[in-house]
A and B are shown apart, each in its own frame.
Chain A
Amino acid sequence: MMLEILTVTVSLASAPGSAPQPAGPAPDPASESNPAPDPAPATDPAPAQADPQIPSPDAVSPFDSRPETESSGAPAAEPIVPPDVDVPPATASPGRGGPPDLKDPMAGRHDPAVRKAARVYPDRPIRWRVDAFLAGGNTVIGDRGYRGVDDDRNARNLHVGARAGMRLGETRAFLSFGAGYRYLESDGDLYANLVQAGIRIQEPIFTLRASASLLDGVDLFVEPGGGPYFARVDLDSVQTARQKSVGGTFDALAGATVYLPKRWLPRRGSSRVSAGLELGLGYTWRSDLHVKPGPDTEDDPIDTQSTDLGRLSLRGFTWRAGAFVRFM
């Protein structure tokens, strides 16, 4: 079908009286719009579909530098409707030039019922993008004291947020600013359930991500970030004790994202929405949590002193995996 469309375009250009026209972009065969686009200026080479695996001199990537005025003439992703063409019906005697060529694969296209041009979505270079993400992660805590508030040394967390970024010039790189919320919860016990201890941490995280596209659908990134953390420590023995603390968090991650490339998306180069997965590895640092909970008391108690139970260093190697939806 693709070959037939190209053949028709060439034939029309060769018809007497018409100006020679270069080959235009292959219209979407599924589209019901008129198949013939407006002819492009002779001096502007029409963008062709580039094979991402085998770049050709003529192929153009969505991330390539390309002024908008060099596009195929479509000011936006609006389908181009060709002007009405007086095309004789297929059953009529051939118009100028003789009877219809029954071998012409586009013979049926002369039928008004099928003369709508294929819808075309020109490539939109990505200038900005906004990601909404949900991720889960884990930090391997090096502090042995952490075993008192968890069954193992892995501090699992949930992270949700959004990033907004701009492309850096005409390069493959993007710089994004992100904001999110991370939650960590763990419970453990000390000395065969003599004391039950638990910790809950809530963190607003602000990130700065620098990413670069290896190819359409695969990005590499580095992402430092940080913010305050709000911790709550609970201890239960015969008494119950609680503590709330504030500290600081710093993350440094590097990783990769894989997402639906444009060519897989319905609107191809004009796609506005994508989705993908990401995996990051790095290190999380948090300021020490000084554990000194005060026991619960009734009203007007005797002056109660709590004991310094030590410091928890909630930092270590970290990884994060998640999914995101991208608007671009």
Chain B
Amino acid sequence: MKRLTISRISRIGRMGLMGVAAAAATAACQPKDPYAGPLQIMPPIGTQDGLVYIDRTHDELIFVEPGDGSVTVSRQALDEADAQVAWRAPTRNGADVLVLTVPDNDKVENVGETLWRFNANAPDNPVEYDVRAPFNALALSPDHRRAVLYFDGNDPSSPLQNANQVAIVDLNTRNIRNLTLNGFGGRLSSVHFPGQIEEGVPVKVQVGSFARDIAAFLTDDEVVLVDMDDPDAVNNQVAVNFESDPFFVPNATLMRPGDDLFADPSLFIRSVQGGNVAMLTLVEKEDEVTGAPGFTVQISLLPVGVGVTDFVFYNGEAPYLVTLGQGSQLVFTDIRTQEGFEIDLEGSARQMFLRDHDIGSDQTVRQIVAWASGGTTLHTLDLDGIENTLGRKPHRLKIETGVGDLVQLDNDRVLVGSENNLYVVDFPGDQVTPLTSQVPYDAQSSALDGNTLLLGTPGQLWLSAVDLHTLNPESMLLDDSIQSFHHATATGKVMITHGDPIGHLTVADANDPSRSTSYVEWGFLVEGVFDPK
């Protein structure tokens, strides 16, 4: 054995000290904490395939798709550095998710404002649109073709902002039209698509020899009409100013296509207050300079009474504009002559809709259904031959505890919410079925799956299903209270979120929800969190 000399011992000691020093240095070095800072995940939005969350911390979309026994979670990164999500929204059919990204901060100059469209079922190939401005409002056309981005009048998000700048995005062709409304200086408040009255059905308005897809931009005292199909829409805008009537503030539109009774299409504008409804008759007109085909409007004001709260159009023997005013008066106005008549509902009504009423022998007539929030009656009135039967009284369906909220389920049924009561109203059967509960139900947190009405009111512990054939309600007890309720129509599942920021939801079968066929998922928003990139 080698003799242990002092030099050998000191050499061993030095090596040991070096090892200790290395250990101390390694222990002291701290790489960046991957969990520093808050986790910002926006509340989910529902699509036809499931739920979509936006993770603003990691700039990702989280798609949660329910299966039979578990959910599938996938993440899609927003391929844009130095950008953040401003807002997100589903499309009207729930097939896609729209996301607007803006620069991270004001110092970033090489990143523009981009609208992204992710398909909810296949999100890995998003479509991007350069919209050039940080718009804070979105209007989606009922025919599912277009998205109109605009500024809604809130505090500006940039130092200098064009309040009337809009972007019209064609979701199918990727065409984008950026334009400034050629109005009279009024600030844009809302966007309407008056010609599109049926969901998912592309409808254009025939103006002269051209079919036009009209969008109406409403401001405080003016309306600007744009043909979204016009390639020269920047220059071909029609603006109507109502400053002559200081009480006329446009807030609703109704498009009546031209027909045999009245050839020209008419756009009706309702005011927040006052007793007039503006009628804008669309007529063809060539551009005075270029001769290019265009259109213009002829303006008239229809005196329909005081306090108009809703309107529809009806073709009887004459083209009528039907308005609801003064709390209980139905006013029929012939748009050709501006003459008309009234029918007293003898009960309060502020909203109405039209439905087809089956009167037998395979015949249907148009029927008005009118009601008022806080009232106790649903009024129904058949409109066939109404001008010759002015004595016709509306039929009344009593809502015992008062109308809180009304949701139209389909042509024949509505759901009325009234605090701790829900009423299923069946018009053909003239039947009102009260459903009482221990807690208030929110009629808006409902969905129709075939002939099953699904109810999931936030704050409650129950998911309820009502068979609309038998009107038999069944309720399923959840393990945690409802935060939000979503019906994924493509998967046949109901997804109920509970208030956990890292993800907590219950998935139930929409057709027959029960505890035995449901499952709960927890923590899916932080899947793989301990494997930071």
Asked if A105 is at the interface (CB within 8 A of a chain B CB), the reply is no
Does B291 have its Cβ within 8 Å of any Cβ on chain A? no
Q: Please, which residues of chain B bring their CB within 8 A of the CB of A6?
A: none
Instruction: Mark interface residues in A272-313 (1 if CB within 8 Å of B CB, else 0).
Output: 000000010100000000010101011001111111111110
Q: Name A194's contact: one of B38, B478, B499 (CB within 8 Å).
A: B38
Q: Is the CB of B526 within 8 A of A192?
A: no
C-beta contact mask, B415-428 vs A, less than 8 Å → 1, else 0? 00000000000000
Contact present for B34 and A307 (CB under 8 Å) = no
A237: Cβ under 8 A from any B Cβ: yes
Task: State the interface size on chain B (CB cutoff 8 A).
Answer: 50
Nearest residue, chain B, Cβ from A189 = B35
Q: Does A200 contact B (CB under 8 A)?
A: no
- Interface majority SS (helix, strand, loop, mixed), chain A: strand
> Is B33 on the interface with A (CB-CB < 8 A)?
yes
Residue A147 at the chain B interface, CB threshold 8 Å: yes
Does residue B500 face the partner (Cβ distance < 8 Å to A)?
yes
Q: A214-B4, A238-B504, A303-B519 are in contact. Are A291 and B530 (CB under 8 A)?
A: yes
In the complex, whether B172 has a CB less than 8 A from a CB of chain A is no
A74 contacts B by Cβ under 8 Å:
no
Given the known A-B contacts A237-B502, A241-B522, A303-B519, are A191 and B527 also in contact in the complex, defined by CB atoms under 8 Å?
A: no
- Answer yes or no: A239 CB below 8 A from chain B CBs: yes
Name the A residues within 8 Å of B531 (CB-CB): 145, 310-311
Contact with A along B315-337 (1 / 0, CB 8 A): 00000000000000000000000
Contact mask for chain A residues 204-218; partner B; CB cutoff 8 A; 1 contact, 0 none:
000000000011001
Contacts of B3 in A (CB 8 A): 55
Q: Are A214 and B12 in contact (CB under 8 A)?
A: yes
Task: Please tell me if the beta carbons of A148 and B530 are within 8 angstroms of each other in the complex.
Answer: yes
Q: Is A260's beta carbon under 8 Å from chain B?
A: no
Enumerate chain A residues within 8 angstroms of B16, measured Cβ to Cβ.
255-256, 279
A229 on the B face (CB < 8 A): no
Closest to A317 in B: B26
- Complex partner residue of B39 from A171, A191, A310, A312, CB under 8 angstroms: A191
Distance (whole angstroms) from the CB of B510 to the closest CB of chain A = 16
With both chains docked as a complex, state the minimum distance between the C-beta of B219 and any C-beta of chain A, in angstroms. 43
Assuming the contacts A145-B531, A279-B20, A311-B530, asked whether A304 and B34 have C-beta atoms less than 8 A apart, the reply is no
Given A145-B532, A309-B523, A311-B531, check contact A238 B30 (CB 8 Å).
Answer: no
Measured CB to CB, the closest approach of chain B to A74, in angstroms, equals: 28
Q: A189-B35, A239-B522, A301-B520 are in contact. Are A308 and B500 (CB under 8 A)?
A: no
- A144 on the B face (CB < 8 A): yes
Question: Judging by beta carbons under 8 Å apart, are B529 and A302 in contact?
Answer: no
In the complex, what distance in Å separates the CA atom of A172 from the CA atom of B3?
Answer: 12
Min CB gap A280→B, angstroms: 10
The answer to whether B515 and A302 have CB atoms under 8 Å apart is: yes
Residue from the list B4, B30, B518, B522 in contact with A307, Cβ < 8 A: B522
Interface: B87 (CB within 8 A): no
Q: Which residues of B contact A55 (CB under 8 A)?
A: 3
- Which residues 37-74 in A have Cβ within 8 Å of B in the complex? 55
Distance to closest chain A CB from B305 (angstroms): 53
Q: Within 8 Å CB of B528, what residues of A?
A: 308-310
The CA-CA distance from A302 to B508 in the complex, in Å, is 10
CB contact between A145 and one of B500, B527, B530 (< 8 Å): that residue? B530
CA distance A62 to B252 in the complex (A): 105
Contact among A140, A152, A188, A305 with B522 in the assembled complex (CB-CB below 8 Å)? A305
Residues of A within 8 A of B501 (CB): 194, 237-238
Q: Quick check: is A271 within 8 A (CB to CB) of the other chain?
A: no
Task: With CB as the reference atom, state the residue of chain B lying closest to A151.
Answer: B33
Task: Name the one of B30, B499, B522 contacting A295, with C-beta atoms under 8 angstroms.
Answer: B522
A256: nearest chain-B partner, CB-CB:
B16
Please, could you name 10 A-B residue pairs with CB atoms under 8 Å apart, sorted by A?
Answer: A144-B31, A148-B529, A188-B35, A190-B529, A194-B502, A220-B12, A238-B498, A293-B523, A305-B69, A310-B528
Identify the A interface with B (CB < 8 A). Answer: 55, 138, 140, 144-145, 147-148, 152-154, 171-172, 188-192, 194-195, 214-215, 218, 220, 235, 237-239, 241, 255-256, 279, 281, 291, 293, 295, 297-298, 301-312, 317, 319
